[in-house]
Amino acid sequence: MKTKSKFLSVLLLATLLLTGIIVKAQNADDLYLNAKEVPNAVYWLPAPPAPGSSQFMYDISQYYWGKEQRQDT
Could you state, in order of their start, the residue ranges of all structural domains in the chain?
A: 2-29+46-70
- Helix (H) or strand (E) run with residue 58 in it: helix 54-70
Cα Rg of the chain (Å, integer): 27
- Confidence band, pLDDT 50/70/90 cuts, at residue 2: confident
Looking at residue 66, what is its pLDDT? 95
Looking at residue 55, what is its pLDDT? 96
Q: Does the structure show a pLDDT above 70 at 30?
A: no
